[in-house]
Amino acid sequence: MPPKLLISIGRQGAKVQNGTNDQGAPDAANFDLANAEDASAQIARLRSIVAAANIAYHQNDAPDLSDAEYDALKRRLIALEARYPELASAASPTAQVGAAPNDGFGKITHAVAMLSLENAFAAEDVTDFEARIRSFLSFGGDLAFTAEPKIDGLSLSLRYENRRLVSAATRGDGAVGENVTANVAHIADIPQILPAQAPDLVELRGEVYMSHADFAALNARQAQAGEKTFANPRNAAAGSLRQLDASITAARPLRFFAYAWGALSAPLAGTQSGAIEKLAEFGFVTNALTKICHSPDDLLAHYAQIEMQRADLGYDIDGVVYKVNDLSLQARLGFRATTPRWAIAHKFPAELAWTHLLAIDIQVGRTGALSPVARLAPVTVGGVVVSNATLHNEDYIAGRSSRGEPIRDGRDLRVGDWVQVYRAGDVIPKINDVDLPRRPADAMPYQFPETCPECGSPAHREAGDSVRRCTGGLICPAQAVERLKHFVARGAFDIEGLGAKQIEMFFHDPLLSIKTPADIFTLAQRDAASPLQKLKNREGFGETSTAKLFAAIDARRAIGLDRLIFALGIRHAGEVAGSLLAYHYGTWPALMTALDAIPADPELRAGNAEWAELTAIDGVGAVLANSLLDTFQNPTERAAIDALIVHLHIQPPPARQTDGSPVAGKTVVFTGTLEKLSRAEAKAQAERLGAKVAGSVSAKTDILVAGPGAGSKLKDAEKHGVQVLDEDAWIALIAPKTTLP
DNA sequence: GTGCCTCGAGTTCC
DNA sequence: CTCGAGGCAC
């Protein structure tokens, strides 16, 4: 997932609904959406520039564009072509470089990201959900929700411009999906044209599914024709939609329920339920079991009602979705990193199945964690055949959580046991229970290895840690290869054509080996210099895909500082930490200078100014800071990083989209009692507008928002000459920017 | 010190 | 997707 993208989309969601912006496709953002004439001219111009640059680069060895410029132009072209599928052309340079391997579908960037939902399993999770919303909003009045069945199909995003369907995309990673426009052309539930009352731009979301009756008939036809049958309606729907030959899709009985929207040029209504009614007026099929509820008890009653009807619906559902009905409250609640705060999916209990535990294997992850995996006799659970299940860690096998509490009543798992499996969240297979009476008499307790099965190094478990880790570091081939996979993963370098499989292959390749990240960027050079076994002559590569791969690698020499930090795979430094550090330090040299100024001896760090600055970053604590220093001050690690850096053009993190927000870049501190906003809401709102929210007042503070009961912070503010506002003044200050649909 | 809220790191199957 | 735990508010 491109993390920055997702976060910025989430935080900007409300504005997008006003039609003022288009965060999901930054490369095409300044483009007049309604004007396909302009698009056609721009696409033609960009194609010729990019094609010329490709030739200059690959044949003349004299690039006339910088990597960053080339990358930007190409991305803009891809975005435009995605937006205007009718202008796409096999002759476009993107047709050769842009498409993913073994995949005939183009990509479409969602104007507003398609997020996932938080899950609830128990009644308690539902009451918690409601309570959390009330507390976030400081709201005691009537709080209404919509409750509707959660269809078990594939989510789809349909884009209508001037009331005509222009594109259809799968969810993909949430930010970018696959273009299936041709495939949905024959789905009867999807209108091609919207009525005159619909807004100019509608990005509509819903679920493609197959009914039980149609599924049974399709499988019967498939069996008769000697074709493979589908395991369940969901797979059948997915398989049908993703046919490269759209005429096959047309012959499959797919259906569609509309239930949500992304970008809109005008709001549909003031409530979720009102908007759904509008969608029905537009000609979409909406679910008849959608109901407005006013309390957790109401929600749970409707859940029970739907669960009772489940078997008779004629299509698969896997739960009930609850959404805050008032759209202005939805906007205030906003988003966490990957899920909205205003919705939750209440899942039905998972299906269970008994099977045989055949073996316990150990995998080694990029941080050296030894993770046990259960090998199972294949068994069907929830329509899917499961043969592996995660076992988490050694405590989990032993029958206790790492906090020492018993799980499975303290019964351990042994090879040879009968175990009960389920798919957590209908995805990840897990072991729920073990049948002790059926345990073979000779079954032995599992002995967790104390050395790494991959490299033989000692595997230690630190106090308070739940996992045992290989101490081999980069000596361990498993760690080295996993680190490389992480380096090229989504959200990191994300190099097209260089995924986990290719990394695995290159890692073990004697001639063109990739052992460190720097090796990726010298691959083309080493290939050119190598007298034998050039990549293009190997099986599975050839001239085009080799050129494609080298071009994809080159395109990534220009990399955002945030992505680079994340890509290094430093423990505790994920996407968010990468972004925090990038925004704070701005450039690579600034970050290095700061880290190098901190003493190597942990004992001496406390008094150091750079250490103080680092750990003062909101979200960066001592654990992360120490982990960063462990990596950068380790000579081997540092040498590998320095060797990488010379191949890159490190870009500053993208400017925050704050649209001239009055508080962008300011540091704000809240103190005292806030009466109109809760603390959490005030903080989220300030951050949405580009402000940094700090906990204490210092010379760097710009604004102190003081409610009644403010104490020492008010005095600090006076001392430092910090602007002090009361809550009303703060709300007035940010008001113009928080008007929501 | 305790209790949220997120984030990070692990995993499966198609 | 889930679990553990880091970071911070109370």
Got the DSSP string for A671-701?
ES--SSS-HHHHHHHHHHTT-EEESS--TT-
Residue A621 CA and nucleotide B1 C1' are separated, in Å, by 18
Which pLDDT belongs to residue A423?
A: 80
DSSP code of residue A172: T
Number of C-alpha atoms within 13 angstroms, CB side, residue A557?
17
Relative to beta strand A459-460, strand A469-470 is antiparallel
Strand B: list positions under 7 Å from protein Cβ.
Answer: 5-14
Q: Which of A669, A722, A671, A718 is nearest to A693 (CA)?
A: A669
Q: How far is CA A416 from CA A247, A352, A435, in A?
A: 49, 19, 11
A150 has catalytic annotation: yes
Is the CATH number of domain A107-337 3.40.30.10? no
pLDDT in tens, A432-485: 889 999 999 999 999 999 999 988 999 988 877 788 889 888 889 999 999 999
pLDDT in tens, A362-382: 999 888 899 899 999 988 887
Q: For residue A619, which nucleotide's C1' is closest to its Cα?
A: C7
The CA distance from A219 to A230, in Å, is: 7
Most confident by average pLDDT, A237-251, A424-438, A505-519, A692-706: A505-519
Residue A590 CA and nucleotide C2 C1' are separated, in Å, by 37
Mean pLDDT of A111-135: 82
The CA distance from A126 to A297, in Å, is: 9
Most confident by average pLDDT, A34-48, A171-185, A581-595: A581-595
Q: How far is CA A45 from CA A35, A107, A381, A402, in A?
A: 16, 21, 53, 60
Residues with CB under 7 A from strand B: A 132, 135-136, 231, 235, 336-337, 341, 363, 365-369, 371, 373, 384-390, 427-429, 467, 482, 569-578, 619, 680, 684
Number of C-alpha atoms within 13 angstroms, CB side, residue A687?
19
The CA distance from A129 to A118, in Å, is: 10
Q: Which residue is nearest to nucleotide B12 (CA to C1')?
A: A428
Global pTM value: 0.66
Farthest CA pair distance, chain A: 84
> Which of A74, A150, A485, A548 is an active site residue?
A150
Q: Which residue is nearest to nucleotide C2 (CA to C1')?
A: A424
The CA distance from A647 to A339, in Å, is: 36
Residue linked to tokens 């190409």: A74
Residue A305 CA and nucleotide C6 C1' are separated, in Å, by 41
pLDDT higher than threshold 90 for residue A276: yes
Q: Which residue is nearest to nucleotide C4 (CA to C1')?
A: A466
Q: For residue A683, which nucleotide's C1' is closest to its Cα?
A: C9
In degrees to the nearest 10, what's the CA dihedral of A164, A170, A171, A172? Answer: -130
Residue A383 CA and nucleotide B5 C1' are separated, in Å, by 34
Q: For residue A679, which nucleotide's C1' is closest to its Cα?
A: C9
pLDDT higher than threshold 80 for residue A517: yes
Q: For residue A621, which nucleotide's C1' is closest to its Cα?
A: C7
Q: For residue A128, which nucleotide's C1' is closest to its Cα?
A: B4
Q: Which residue is nearest to nucleotide C10 (CA to C1')?
A: A679
The CA distance from A31 to A42, in Å, is: 10
Which pLDDT belongs to residue A132?
A: 83
Residue A464 CA and nucleotide C5 C1' are separated, in Å, by 10
A226-235, A433-442, A484-493, A651-660: least confidently modelled range: A651-660
Residue A375 CA and nucleotide C7 C1' are separated, in Å, by 37
In degrees to the nearest 10, what's the CA dihedral of A260, A132, A12, A105? Answer: -40
Domain coordinates in residue numbering, chain A: 16-96+351-438, 107-337, 476-515+522-556, 560-651, 667-737
What residue type is assigned to position A694 of the chain?
A
DSSP code of residue A725: E
Query: CA quadruple A181, A185, A190, A193: dihedral positive or negative?
Result: positive
The CA distance from A345 to A261, in Å, is: 17
State whether residue A75 is helix, strand or coil: helix
Which runs of E-coded beta strand occur in A51-181?
107-109, 118-120, 145-151, 154-161, 164-170, 176-178
pLDDT in tens, A482-494: 999 999 988 889 8
SS (H, E, C) A352-374: EEEEEEEEEEEEECCCCEEEEEE
Task: Tell me the CATH number for domain A476-515+522-556.
Answer: 1.10.150.20
Question: Which tokens is A2 given?
Answer: 């491109």
Q: Phi then psi for A151, rounded to 5 degrees? A: -75, 135
Residue A394 CA and nucleotide C4 C1' are separated, in Å, by 14
Which pLDDT belongs to residue A432?
A: 84
**The CATH fold of domain A667-737:** Rossmann fold (3.40.50)
Residue A159 CA and nucleotide C5 C1' are separated, in Å, by 41
Q: For residue A339, which nucleotide's C1' is closest to its Cα?
A: B6
Domains A476-515+522-556 and A560-651 share a fold: yes
DSSP code of residue A707: -
Q: Which residue is nearest to nucleotide C3 (CA to C1')?
A: A392
pLDDT higher than threshold 70 for residue A347: yes
What confidence tier does A199 reach under pLDDT thresholds 50, 70, 90? very high
Using an 8 Å Cβ cutoff, are A349 and A426 in contact?
Answer: no
Between A691 and A351, whose confidence is greater? A351
State whether residue A150 is helix, strand or coil: strand
State whether residue A518 is helix, strand or coil: helix
pLDDT higher than threshold 50 for residue A197: yes
**Share above pLDDT 90 across residues of chain A, in percent, rounded to a whole number:** 32
DSSP code of residue A179: B
- The kind and range of the H/E element at A260 are strand A255-264
- Interior/surface letters A301-329, b for 16+ CB within 10 angstroms, e for the rest: ebbeebbeeeeeeebbbbbbbbbbbbbeb
CB proximity list for A114: less than 8 A, separation 6 or greater: A155, A157, A171, A172, A174, A177, A205, A262
Query: CA quadruple A643, A649, A652, A657: dihedral positive or negative?
Result: negative
The CA distance from A304 to A586, in Å, is: 53
pLDDT higher than threshold 50 for residue A75: no
CB proximity list for A634: less than 8 A, separation 6 or greater: none
What confidence tier does A641 reach under pLDDT thresholds 50, 70, 90? very high
Residues with CB under 7 A from strand C: A 116-117, 119, 121, 392-393, 395-396, 401-403, 424-428, 464-466, 572, 617-625, 679, 693, 695
Pick the CATH number of A16-96+351-438 from 3.40.50.1000, 2.40.50.140, 3.90.1170.50, 3.20.20.370: 2.40.50.140
Q: For residue A118, which nucleotide's C1' is closest to its Cα?
A: C1
Class in CATH terms, A560-651: mainly alpha
Between A433 and A688, whose confidence is greater? A433
Relative to beta strand A145-151, strand A317-324 is antiparallel
A239-248, A361-370, A480-489, A654-663: least confidently modelled range: A654-663
